[in-house]
Amino acid sequence: MPTTDTSRAKALILNYQTELERAGREHRDEDGFAEVIAGFAHEDLHWYGVHPFGERHGSHAVARAFWAPLCGSFERLQRRQDIFFAGRNASDDALWVVSMGHLMGLFDRPFLGIPPTGRVAMLRYAEFCHVTEDRIARASLFVDLIGLMQQSGLSPLPAATGQHFVYPGPRTHDGLQLADADPVESAATLSLIDRMVDDLSALNLSGEDRCPPEYLARTWHDDMLWYGPAGIGATYTIERYQAQHQYPFRTGLTDKVFNGHICRCAEGNYGGFFGWPNLTNRAAGGFLGLPASDKAADMRVVDIYRRDGDKLAENWVLIDLPHWLLQQGVNVLERSRELTQASFE
């Protein structure tokens, strides 16, 4: 029987994952999924889902918005978890459990209007669950829908500056931290993430969009791997990260404001955060290969890190790009529907 708060919370979430997967295999309906979620969550569960799922309250709303439709489209859904850890949020000491990897299945029926392929699909995800009194009180779920569209042969965005592929888990293959980690290591990871975020915030304030590589080298490993969302792609090494993401991002976006995080926590060598939204900014032209906009837009972002010694070595990132684009008047899901379901019938 687990004794610490973190190990009890992790056990709760692992059971939750198992039961959700079982419900999918059993082709449970909306009520069936709601029942599973209700078995692990508080009645007033507050769920944050990326566009188009949105914020939902209560088990039934979450089942209806996400799990029942996803498992209806993805046959034999498997959660392929690459990173799993728990930690206390820096600002309010809330206990969060973090899971990251892919939701894999046979993409057999349309999902959100994205045409099925009948083949394996890997939907990249990150899930944060806030646990109180042995139940989930709040949860956020980020999935890379643009990555799924690309697997279906759709290209809703212009060519990426980085390279997008099915991203691997940590190089060290130790991302599933089922046992509690040494708190000293956890604190070191959190403090390194804090310093990196502070460095970026300083750039926002100074307006310096093209910082030298040495500046990043203060917190980043020389061999840093940055796994960005579909539409941006992954990059390797500090110099290529700057060329293929940081500079396009920083120079292509203006009026950048950092709004803080709902959760920022770490355990062992792993840590991460999400915000709702983390950032507010305005497209100045060029980012994602898209033109400038006069509208400020919120950006919801997940970052998960692996620390190696005193540097950040790997970083998995999800951005709710469909939501960010929608605020500027671009509905990528609707456009995909038009693209694939053009009909004169």
Partner 1 sequence: MNAPHDHHKAQLEPLRAALYDFDHNAVERALRDIVHDNALIQLGWPFETLADTQALLERAYSPLASAWPDLERRDQIIIAGSCGSGAYWVGCCGYYLGTFARPWLNIPPTQRPVAMRYHEFFRFVDERVVEIQAVWDIPEVMQQAGVWPLAPALGREWRAPGPATQDGKDATPRDAERSAASVELVNRMLIGLSRFAEGGAAAMELPRYWHPRCSWYGPSGIGTARGIDGFRMFHQIPFLNGMPDRVGSGDTGHLFGDNDYVGFTAWPGMHMTLSGDGWLGVAPAGQPITMRSLDFWRCENGLIRENWVLIDLLDVFRQLGVDVLARMRELSNPGLDAR
Q: Residue 26 CB, nearest distance to partner 1 (Å)?
A: 16
Of the candidates 295, 291, 262, which has an alpha carbon nearest to the alpha carbon of residue 281?
295
Q: Pick from 32, 72, 116, 213 the residue near partner 1 by CB under 8 A.
A: 116
342 binds partner 1 (CB under 8 A): yes
Q: Report the C-alpha gap between 265 and 169 in whole angstroms.
A: 19
CB 82 within 8 A of CB 170: yes
Which residue from 2, 39, 54, 153 is in contact with partner 1, where contact means CB under 8 A? 153
Task: State the binding string over 89-108 for partner 1 (x if CB under 8 A, else -).
Answer: -------------------x
Identity of residue 119: R
Give the closest residue to 36 by CA, choosing from 17, 9, 57: 17
118 makes contact with partner 1 (CB under 8 A): yes
Does an H or E element contain 240, and which?
helix 238-241
Binding of residue 76 to partner 1 (CB under 8 A): no
Biggest distance spanned by C-alpha atoms of the chain: 65
* Residue with Cβ nearer partner 1 (203 or 339): 339
Look up residue 64 and give its two tokens.
Answer: 């209806």
Alpha-helical segments (H) within 39-144: 59-62, 68-73
Output 315 or 336, the one with its CB closest to partner 1: 336
What sign results for the dihedral spanned by CA atoms 320, 326, 328, 331? positive
Query: Least CB distance from residue 119 to partner 1, whole Å?
Result: 6
Interface with partner 1 includes 54 (CB under 8 A)? no
25 binds partner 1 (CB under 8 A): no
For residues 177 and 158, give the distance between their C-alpha atoms in angstroms, rounded to a whole number: 37
CB of 118 to partner 1, least distance (A): 4
Amino acid type, 210: R
- The count of residues interacting with partner 1 (CB under 8 A) is 10
Helices 30-38 and 5-25 cross at an angle (nearest 10°) of 170
Applying CB under 8 A, among 25, 27, 80, 119 the residue interacting with partner 1 is 119
Quick check: 72 binds partner 1 (CB under 8 A)? no
State yes or no: residue 294 binds partner 1 (CB under 8 A): no
Instruction: Decide: is 113 part of the binding site for partner 1 (CB under 8 A).
Output: no
Q: Candidates 56-64, 117-125, 291-299, 306-314: pick the segment binding partner 1 (CB under 8 A).
A: 117-125
Choose the binding region for partner 1 from 90-98, 114-122, 135-143, 205-213 (rule: CB under 8 A). 114-122
Q: CB-wise, 24 or 272, nearer to partner 1?
A: 24
Q: Which of 330, 340, 240, 257 is nearest to 289 (CA)?
A: 330
Instruction: Scan for tokens 């900014």, then name that residue.
Output: 281
Give contact residues for partner 1 (rule: CB under 8 A): 108, 116-119, 153, 342-345
